[in-house]
Amino acid sequence: DYRRALEEAVRFLREHDRFLILSHVNPDGDAIGSTLAVAAMLEQLGKSYVLVNESGAPDKFSFLPRFERICNLSQDLAGDTFSAVIAVDCADASRMGDVRHLFAPDAALLNIDHHPTNDAFGAVNVIRTDAAATAEILYDLNEAAGLPITEDFALCIYTGLLTDTGGFRYSNTSPYNMEIAARLLRYGVNPGDVAERCLEVITLSHVKLLRQALQTLRMSHGNLVASVFVSRQDLESVGADREDAGGLVNYCRNIEGVEVGVSFVEAEPGTVKVSLRARSRVDVSEIAKQLGGGGHAKAAGCTLRGTLAEAQERVWNALGQALGVNADE
């Protein structure tokens, strides 16, 4: 059970001395906040660690303590290998990206996550799927380890809670995570500042991309599905990267009467990143899983090989089945 898993994780932290901490590719606020929250805990325990993310960490999170210590894989980790690995906010091993060569052959992995699609890929697994964020689980872990809440830790946890609940608005918002958040505010977190940095500020490239993406809006499945499409050319013409495409999908889902919003982004040539957001009739984690991805009931994603049109066909067919309405109805 969960309590037992937390205790096992505490033992894991105590019995190793040096850790590799990582999260999922194209990290969000929970991924980076959780990575740095573990670092803050290990500081308290006097352990050494290396932080890595295959994609590096987005600059918008540079206000978080020890942000500059997050390495990306192209940086030389000097052929270093690790026998203790902690993966946070990763639903399965593939979400970690290409980090395997950093693992020693006998490496033990601690998997801490909140995705319902998590396949328990660790030697130790701490999974609570009703946690709004992995950061919420790390709050429990810090407590289970008998560690104090430091200012650094508080800021990291708050950031994970805030971003994964969309500013305490999504249906995963709970009395427990708002209680934790309230408590963290007593440890020096400035909520207005964190919200401004994580939720309010958008890049000019994002706005230019939004202008183009809205031109591609397509309603299907009897107006139950709304989709937008972003090609390589769209990204290049406004100087945007795939990160700038984040959030486009919300415009689709938010349309009155829409059950599922979808964004199709040609992240690499021949590769389409699909983001799915649901209202209530469809569990989009099931759709994403069917297509090789995963996520949550109301927010999920996958990456498909092929063109935008091919991705559209596969996703729209799957949605047609789930909704019982054909795409062209």
Residue ranges binding ligand 5GP (CB under 6 A): 91-92, 95, 117, 275, 293-296, 299-303
Taking the least distance from each CB to ligand 5GP, the nearer of 84 and 252 is 252
User: Of residues 31, 181, 238, 262, which one binds Mn ion by CB under 5 A?
Assistant: 31
Question: What single-letter DSSP state applies at residue 143?
Answer: H
Binding partner selected for residue 136 from Mn ion, ligand 5GP, none, CB under the kind-specific 5 to 8 Å limit: none
Picked from ligand 5GP, Mn ion, none, the partner binding residue 224 (CB below 5 to 8 A depending on kind) is none
Minimum distance from residue 11 beta carbon to Mn ion (Å): 24
**Which tokens go with 194?**
């964190």
Window 9-28: residues binding Mn ion (CB under 5 A): 28
Q: How far is the CB of 277 from ligand 5GP (least distance, A)?
A: 8
- As measured in angstroms, the least distance from the Cβ of 28 to Mn ion is 4
Residues 6+ apart with CB under 8 A from 289: 117, 300
Q: Binding partner of residue 38 among ligand 5GP, Mn ion, none, CB under 5 to 8 Å per kind?
A: none
Which of Mn ion, ligand 5GP, none sits in contact with 258, Cβ below 5 to 8 A by type? none
> Cα separation of 269 and 111, whole Å?
32
**Residue 154 near which of ligand 5GP, Mn ion, none (CB within 5-8 Å, type-dependent):** none
* Residues written for the chain: 329
Nearer to ligand 5GP, 91 or 102 (CB): 91
Judged by DSSP in three states, 257 sits in coil
8 Å CB contact between 267 and 303? yes
* Gap between the Cα atoms of 274 and 42, Å rounded: 35
Distance CA(36)–CA(39), nearest Å, equals 5
What's the closest the beta carbon of residue 95 comes to ligand 5GP, in angstroms? 5
Q: Which does 31 bind (CB under 5 to 8 A by kind): Mn ion, ligand 5GP, none?
A: Mn ion
Burial of 22 (0-12, 13-18, 19+ CB in 10 A): buried
Q: Quick one: 28 or 259, whose CB is closer to Mn ion?
A: 28
Q: Quick one: 28 or 152, whose CB is closer to Mn ion?
A: 28
Cβ 302 vs Cβ 279: under 8 Å: no
Measured CA angle at 135 (ends 25, 96), to 5 deg: 20
CA angle 55, 115, 266 (to 5 degrees): 40
Q: Which residues of this chain interact with Mn ion, rule CB under 5 A?
A: 28, 30-31, 89, 133-134, 164
